[in-house]
Amino acid sequence: MTAQRDTARGGARARPKRYDRGYFDKWYRNERHAVRSPAELARKVALAVAVAEYVLDRPIRSVLDVGAGEGAWLAPLRRLRPRVRYLGVDQSEYAVARFGRRRNLVRGSVETLPAHAGEGPFDLVVCADVLNYLPTPALAAGLAHVRRLLGGVAYLEIFAAGESMEGDLRGWHRRPAAFYRHLFDRVGLTTVGPHCYAPPAGAAALAAHQRRRATPGDTP
Q: Hey, where are the domains in the chain?
A: 37-213
Task: Classify domain 37-213 at the CATH class level.
Answer: alpha beta
The total of other beta-carbon atoms located within 10 Å of residue 195's CB is: 22
- pLDDT tens series, the chain, 220 aa: 333 323 233 333 456 677 656 666 665 665 554 456 788 899 999 999 999 999 999 999 999 999 999 999 999 999 999 999 999 999 999 999 999 999 999 999 888 888 888 778 999 999 998 888 889 999 999 999 999 999 999 999 988 776 666 555 565 677 888 888 889 999 999 989 999 999 987 766 664 445 454 445 443 3
SS3 content of the chain, % helix, strand, coil (to 5): 40, 15, 45
Using CA atoms, how far residue 90 sits from 43, 50, 71, 94, 137, in Å, is: 22, 25, 9, 10, 19
pTM of the model: 0.80
Under 8 Å between Cβ of 187 and 127 = no
DSSP 170: T
